[in-house]
Every structure is written in C-alpha cells, then in structure tokens.
Amino acid sequence: MPQPDPQVLARKPAVVAALREVLPASAVIDDPAETRAYECDALTAYRCPPLCAVLPASTEELAAVLKICHRMGVPVVPRGAGTSLAGGALPTADSVILGVARMTEVLETDYANRFIRVQTGRTNLSVSGAVGEEGFFYAPDPSSQLACAIAGNIAMNSGGAHCLKYGVTTNNLLGVTMVTMEGEVLELGGAHLDAAGLDLMGLVCGSEGQLGVVTEATLRILAKPEGARPVLIGYDSLEVAGQCVSDIIEAGVLPVAIEFMDRPCIRATDAFSGAGYPDCEALLIVEVEGSEAEIAEQLEIITGIARRHDPVELRESGSAEESARIWLGRKSAFGAMGQINDYICLDGTIPVSSLPEVLRRMGDLSRDFGLDVANVFHAGDGNMHPLILFNANQEGQLALAEGLGAEILKLCVEVGGCLTGEHGVGVEKRDLMEHQYRPADLEAQMRIKDVFDPAWLLNPAKVFPLSVSAARREGGLAPHVA
Amino acid sequence: MMRPGSEAELAEILAGAHAPLAVRGGGTRGVALAGDVVETGGLSGVKLYEPGALTLVVGAGTPLVEVEALLAEKGQRLAFEPMDHRVLLGGEGEPTIGGVVAANVSGPRRVQVGACRDHLLGVRFVDGSGEVISNGGRVMKNVTGYDLVKLMAGSWGTLGVLSEVSLKVLAQPQAEATLVRRGVGAAEAVADLCRAMGTPYDVSGAAWLEEGAELRLRIEGLAGSVAYRAQALGAALCGGLEVVEGAESAALWREVRDVAPFAATAGAVWRISVKPTEAPGLLEALAPHKAGAMLDWSGGLVWLLATGGAQAIRAEVDKLGGHATLVRGADDATVPMFHPRPAPIARLEEGLRKRFDPKGILNPGLMEGA
C-alpha cells in the first residue's frame, strides 16, 4: 500500500472532531484499540489500522461524513461487512473507514412489482429472509451470504453458485442511492427498468467503492422455484467431465448450478464430511429446478448426456436427504481444506471450453512450485476457485503460494478468461491488472474515476496498479477537462 | 460517408476527425444526425462462436440477421429479443448487432432474462480521440476492473464507436405457449400480469394490447414443462385463458416486440419505463394525448401513440420516477429523444462524454439533456 500522507495523519484530531460534529459519539471510533477491528477484511494477510472508523445510521449522516472528508482531503475506504477476499476494505493509516453496518433496514417491499428496497448494510441472506414468507427470494448467493452486506455485493458485483441461471448482482440490481465523494446524494435507476441516459448504475456496480458509496438499493426479487434436485456424476478424466459440462449447456437445459471438484478436493471433502463421494478424477453436481415433472424431464436429458460419456458414478437424488448428502461435501469443501491446510482461494474465470487445458496446466504449475492445488468451482460459467494449499508457519510459503496464484491467474487470462469472476480486484489482484488490460484500457477506466471522484479520495489504492494510478492519487493530478 | 474496413481504419478516422460525425450501424433506429456518416458495416464477421460456452464474439457491423441465422443453426438465440425498429419506423437498411448494443435494444423477454446489457460480455470500441479500448471479455463472470461494458450498452455511439461485441447466447426453447385473454382493461390486465410474474412458472412475456383489450402471457422451455406451467398459470389466474402454441405464439410476440400495432400510424411514439403497477394510472392521466397504447414487461414498458403533449407526458412520468424516450418523433423537432436527467446526473454524463469524446465529434447533442 502507498505511504500514508503525514499531513493527514497530523490532522487526525481535527478530522475526528469534525466528524463528531455530524455523528453521535458512538459512531466515531478513533481509539487505536478499537480501530484495530477495522484493520483488515477477509484477506487477513494484509492489515493496517485506519485513522478512524465511522458508522453513520442514515444516508444524510453518511453524506455529511463524505463532505467533511472531501473538504479536509482525507481518503475514505467504504466497508460493508468486511468479508472481501480481495482486500477491498483494507484501510491505509491515513484513511477513514466508512462502514454501513448500522444501516440494515428494509425500506420497502413490493411483491406486485417484484422488488425490495433496503439499506445496504443489510446482509445478503437477510434480504431473501425478508421476502421468503411470501414465496420470494433474492437470487445472487455468494458463499459468504450469511455475513456479507449488500453494499459489498454491489461494490464487487458479487456472484454465487446459482448465477448460471439467475445472473450476478448487476443483473438483479434495479436502483441505488449513492453518495459521491463530494457528499452529493444521487438516485440512479429505481423500480423501473433501464436508464434514461447513460447506464451509470451499471458502471457503479462492481466499481469497488471507488465511484461513490451506495447507501440504499432497489433489488429484484423472484418467485421461489417449486423444487430443486441435484445429480452427482463422477468421471475418471478431467477432459471428459469438462466435455460433459459443455454438452449439457449446449443441449439447451439450463441447470441452476453445475459444480465441479477435482480429485484432491473430492478426497479432502469426503474424508471431512463423509459425503460418500466416489474416488475419481472429477465430480460434477448438477442441480435443476421446477415442479417434480419438470425436474424429471430435465434430469432425463442431463443423465442421458452424462451416460454417453461413461461415468464411474451417476447418482440421482430420490429424496431431500439424498440431495443434502450430495451437496454436503461441496458445501463443506472450504472448511475441509481449512482444516488440513492454510490456503489461498483464487477466483479466475475461463472459457468453459478451456477447462481441461487449464486444469492440466495448473497441475504442471502445482508440481513446479511444489504446492498442492485443489479445485472446486462453478463449472457452468467457468468461474474457477483453485485452492492453493500451503503452510503459513513455514517461512516463505505464503510468498510462494502467492507466486503460484499469480501464475494461475495469468493462465486464466491467456486462455481468454479474466483475473476475477466474483471476488473483485481490491489489493489482491491490483498489480496483475496489466496482464489483462493494455495501458489504454486502464486509462479508460481511470477516466471514469476522474469524473466521479476527481480528487481520488475514495478507496484510492485499489483496483489499479499503484504505479499506474500514482499521478492521480498524489495530489489530484487528473488531467482536467474544461 | 466513411466505411472503415477495420478497427485500425476506424481509429485513424476518429483520430483525424475534427467535425461532428454521425455514427451509424444499419441506420434503422430512427436517429437522424448532422455530420459525416461513419458506418460500421465494414467491421463485420464472426470472431468466435462456442455454442457449448454460450458465447459469441462478432464484429459490431455484422448484420443482426446473420447473427441470428448463425445461432439458429445451433439451436440458440439472443435471449433478450431485440426489436426490429423497421416495423415501427418504416426505414430501410439492415440492423447491425453493434446498433442493437449501442441502443441497448431489448424486447418482451427482458422481463425474464434481462436487457441487451445483461447479455453483453465484452466490447471493443474506438473513443473520440481514436484510442482503441477493450473492456470485459468473453466469459460470463468477470469483475476485473470497471464495467465499461454496461456503460457502452445504450450509449448510442456518444462515448465511442463499437468495433466488436461479445455476447452471452442461450438455447432456443423446445416449445412455447401463450395464454390469451381478451376484453380486459389496462388496470385488470396489469394486476394479472404482475400476479403472473410473481408465480414460479417462469413467464417470459407479459403484455397487454389496447386494441382488442388483449392480455398475453408467454411460457417457454421443454415441451412437458411448458404444458405443465401453462396449465398451472392459467389456474392461478382463475382460468378462462386461450392457449396458443408454437409458430402462432411466436407471431404474437413478434407483434409485441416490434410494436406492430403502431406501424403505419401517424403521431409520436413514446417508450416509457415505469414501475409496472403505475402503467394503468399513467394511461389514464395521459388520455387527452393518447391515440393508442400497448404495455409490455407486465406494465413496466408503456408504448404510447400520442398526438402532441410531449411536455405533459414527460411531466407525468417524472412524477412516477421513470423515463420516456421519444422513439418516433412527430412534427416538433425541439423535443429531445431522451428523458432529461436531474442536473447532478447530467453533469456526470457530460463529464464522461468530455473524457471519451474530448473533441465533441461523436453524435454530438444526441444524449445531452438536463
């Protein structure tokens, strides 16, 4: 991270005093013992306590905070629930952490028009919880959904296991109330569809808190399906399993999820969970939705395709218990891995057709680096989550694991994919951006920030390689346009 | 007229240009602009098509009809169902895929699967300085950097000229059916359409035509599933709906998609986006100016045939928090095509235009408006 600005550090008392004028005392946290709670997010390898943390309770309070920080030239790092795996909410010593944790209200539910409006500190799962009794749900379902906040979901454009059918956050977001760094409150989108002019909401979603702070969101809610059922398919070849995924998609059935596990992952999760998985090279879990008859119709096509590829195992669920057992290992995969090893979870996406090649070359890299890699991922959309296993207590292993991670992500880009499918760039992949984008492409993205945040005060040290954004961060040198 | 044959040629043209240019795909969307025409027809051809990955990458100038034919060979399609404006506007020309993206053109199925922008995976474009810019890619999940893909969809060539687009495609369904009920007023129809959208039956079209006071609901998918859901949805709406299947059903939705009821009529045509349940009230409020109406997206999209009343129409829509686009102008050329935005938002849009088109040469004036 860049060096903190000594002038800002020196002004800490004045900044804190100004913030206390617009917020209740309990909402401004500047005691070093307490600001430690905000020193990192879920990317715990990087830590730095902020100048202070503030927890406004309304859009108005939050706007007042931003006005002060803008006037005093203090960088601001927005924070949802702090579950980012990419360091999206990692502070610098000269920054104010602006948390939305106290803004959790449901503001409006409208079933006829199929939307819910919430304050963005609300957790992802509790949005579905608020509409569940009426038979509705909010579709994007990142695995951290119990803890993660809608604010962070919007900042990172979060996905989940079911986005093959339902899309990611940007496809389910109808409107936002956003506060700019200057403290101006904007309404982008709303309960109606599409933008009157340029799609600024589309731009804000996934901008990692660098364009504005979203305080309220209008989200699409959908009617829950009548039922869902998975099928488990095992193969003794990664290529064949990859081909099966491709064939299922091409056949025109659209499963809600196609999950893929490789042998290291199958073994670890089975030992941990007792799910009873076969010991094979690749395991697929394919889930479909609908009424009983519709599920049967879809599964007939899927199992037909699976059989043509000669599986070593094909297990259709006949009951809720059997469904739970099929999902058991998959859902405990990360826990299982965590128990036997430290790991880094990557998030690259690749074209589905490159799956066998990428898995083979990842195996080669794993051997070269002498670190095991286990794979469990959303195969339907090519979003991989390779887990690099290492021992954090052994000196040099973290750096080695990060080096392997970088090579794997470069491989994803080389085959036509990208560095991150749903976690975001943050600080974690910031310095790899030049492998995916040419200078002109990055310049185009930075121009957007120049428009929304000309002084580059909002979450400034993220997304763009520090060398690339240096001129803009150091004193608002953004080329000025009359 | 300039017709670059490659992205590099397009970049050269834009780098050297100092006067306003009219950016054009097939020229079918009813936008008449001053300035030399830059036409994208030379930037055509399929770069990549992987049916098993649901991915298509094509030159922006590729005719839509070629894209659709290619996809149909593999039993796939553009799920967002782009409208053919020629039916409504009577123009000649051949719509291009770049034009579809630049105007974010989506049809009835938008209510189920999202808009064109939701199926756009990547873009390459040349900005107003002649710089080639690439964003997004060819994979479905991608949060690497800012999403300029969404920004470019619906930017009508004002931030850059698209040279290549990458799209998510989907399978054509095995079967489709439409439930039809005639003689229902707008209020009753919208209530039923919204109720239908709230069922688990995956409705992929929800429209009401003033002509014949006709409600239409579409269901698509595997044959057995369509039969089941058509029956279940009919029951949920208290029965009495006629079921139309196959090609006949498809024809009903082409009519809705292309706003066929307003073809060869006189008057202005407005495309108004509101919260679905506001539509009946809006039609009532605008009755003095209304010459015809059709609702799509369960009421969320109001197609209004109007005689005059531009200011009244926009004022009514402002009250509801939606927006009204003038798709087919009447005689009054002073009415802007796009709904005016609040000043702070207009300022941001202006800031983006200044940075992506510093010379102010790309369709100048088209999207301005506060």
The pLDDT tens digits of the residues spanning B67-125 come to: 999 999 999 999 999 999 999 999 889 999 999 999 999 999 999 999 999 999 999 99
For residue A476, pLDDT over 70 is answered with no
CA dihedral B313, B319, B323, B329 (to 10 degrees): 10
For residue B370, pLDDT over 70 is answered with no
DSSP A260-299: EEEHHHHHHHHHHH------SSEEEEEEEESSHHHHHHHH
Q: Which of A21, A42, A20 is nearest to A29 (CA)?
A: A20
Q: Angle B289-B291-B294 (CA atoms, 0-180°, nearest 5)? A: 110
SS3 B171: strand
Q: Which fold has domain B262-328?
A: Alpha-Beta Plaits (3.30.70)
pLDDT of residue B304: 98
Q: Where are the domains of chain A?
A: 6-99, 106-223, 228-334, 341-430, 438-473
A298 to chain B: which residues are within 8 Å by CB?
A: 222, 225
Residues in chain B: 370
Residue of chain A whose alpha carbon sits nearest to that of B157: A198
Q: Which of B156, B153, B184, B172 is nearest to B295 (CA)?
A: B184
Q: Which of B7, B152, B172 is nearest to B76 (CA)?
A: B172
Largest Cα span, chain A: 71
Largest Cα span, chain B: 64
Would you state the structure tokens that stand for residue A177, as one six-digit string?
């109330």
B225 to chain A: which residues are within 8 Å by CB?
A: 290-291, 293-294, 297-298
Spatial distance between the Cα atoms of A424 and A42, rounded to a whole number of angstroms: 13
E strand map for B146-202? 161-168, 170-171, 175-181
Do A341-430 and A106-223 have the same topology in CATH? Answer: no
Determine contact, residues B151/B189, Cβ cutoff 8 Å.
no
B222 to chain A: which residues are within 8 Å by CB?
A: 253, 294, 297-298, 301
Query: Where in chain B do CATH 3.30.465.10 domains reside?
Result: 7-171
Residue of chain A whose alpha carbon sits nearest to that of B159: A198
pLDDT band for A356, please (50, 70, 90 cuts): confident
pLDDT band for A478, please (50, 70, 90 cuts): very low
DSSP, res B335: S
| pLDDT tens figures, A66-75 | 999 999 999 9
Long-range contacts formed by B44-48: CB under 8 A, 24+ apart: B44/B96, B46/B70, B47/B164, B48/B138
Range B270-291 burial, b when 16+ CB lie within 10 A, else e: bbbbbbbbbbbbbbebbeebbb
| Residues near A362 by beta carbon (within 8 Å), at least 6 away in sequence | A373, A375, A386, A408, A411
Judge: B275–A294 Cβ closer than 8 Å, yes or no.
no
For residue B32, pLDDT over 90 is answered with no
Spatial distance between the Cα atoms of A3 and B280, rounded to a whole number of angstroms: 59
Cα–Cα separations (whole angstroms), residue A412 to A134, A177, A348, A362, B130: 42, 35, 6, 10, 29
Would you state the structure tokens that stand for residue A78, as one six-digit string?
């927005």
SS3 A457: coil
The minimum CA-CA distance between A115 and chain B, rounded to whole Å, is 10
For residue A100, pLDDT over 50 is answered with yes
Spatial distance between the Cα atoms of B111 and B149, rounded to a whole number of angstroms: 20
Q: Which of A161-165, A436-440, B8-12, B352-356 has the lowest mean pLDDT?
A: A161-165
Q: Which fold has domain A228-334?
A: Alpha-Beta Plaits (3.30.70)
**What's phi and psi for A138, nearest 5 deg?**
-105, 125
H or E, element range at A171: helix A169-172
> Is the full-model pTM beyond 0.90?
yes
A225 to chain B: which residues are within 8 Å by CB?
A: 200
A184 to chain B: which residues are within 8 Å by CB?
A: 344
Q: What is the mean pLDDT of chain A?
A: 94
pLDDT of residue A131: 98
| pLDDT tens figures, A14-33 | 999 999 999 999 999 999 99
Residue of chain A whose alpha carbon sits nearest to that of B124: A441
Mean pLDDT of A427-435: 95
- Tell me the CATH number for domain B7-171: 3.30.465.10
SS3 A140: coil
Would you state the structure tokens that stand for residue A152, as one six-digit string?
């962070």
Query: Where in chain B do CATH 3.30.70.100 domains reside?
Result: 262-328
B235 to chain A: which residues are within 8 Å by CB?
A: none
| Disruptive mutation site among B54, B143, B337 for chain A (greatest number of A CBs within 10 Å) | B143
pLDDT band for A415, please (50, 70, 90 cuts): very high
pLDDT of residue A481: 38
Q: Which CATH architecture has domain B175-257?
A: 2-Layer Sandwich (3.30)
Determine contact, residues A96/A74, Cβ cutoff 8 Å.
yes
Residue of chain B whose alpha carbon sits nearest to that of A380: B53
pLDDT of residue A239: 86
Residue A341 burial class via C-beta count within 10 angstroms: exposed 0-12, middle 13-18, buried 19 and up? middle
Q: Does domain A341-430 have CATH number 3.40.50.620?
A: no
SS3 A303: helix
Spatial distance between the Cα atoms of B295 and B217, rounded to a whole number of angstroms: 12
Determine contact, residues B294/B271, Cβ cutoff 8 Å.
no
For residue A414, pLDDT over 70 is answered with yes
Name which of A199, A247, A381 is nearest B141 (Cβ-Cβ): A381
Determine contact, residues B305/B332, Cβ cutoff 8 Å.
no
pLDDT of residue B331: 64
Q: Which of B159, B123, B148 is nearest to A207 (CA)?
A: B148
| pLDDT tens figures, A212-271 | 999 999 999 999 999 999 999 999 998 899 899 989 988 888 899 999 999 989 998 988
| Disruptive mutation site among A153, A168, A198 for chain B (greatest number of B CBs within 10 Å) | A198
| pLDDT tens figures, B295-343 | 999 999 999 999 999 999 999 999 999 999 999 986 677 899 999 999 9
**CATH classification for the domain delimited by A106-223, as one of 3.20.20.70, 3.30.465.10, 3.10.20.30, 3.30.565.10:** 3.30.465.10
pLDDT band for B142, please (50, 70, 90 cuts): very high
- Tell me the CATH number for domain A6-99: 3.30.43.10
The minimum CA-CA distance between A33 and chain B, rounded to whole Å, is 34
The minimum CA-CA distance between B365 and chain A, rounded to whole Å, is 12
Determine contact, residues B178/B205, Cβ cutoff 8 Å.
yes
pLDDT of residue A480: 40
The residue ranking higher by pLDDT, A481 or A160, is: A160
CA A456, distance to chain mean position in Å, is 23
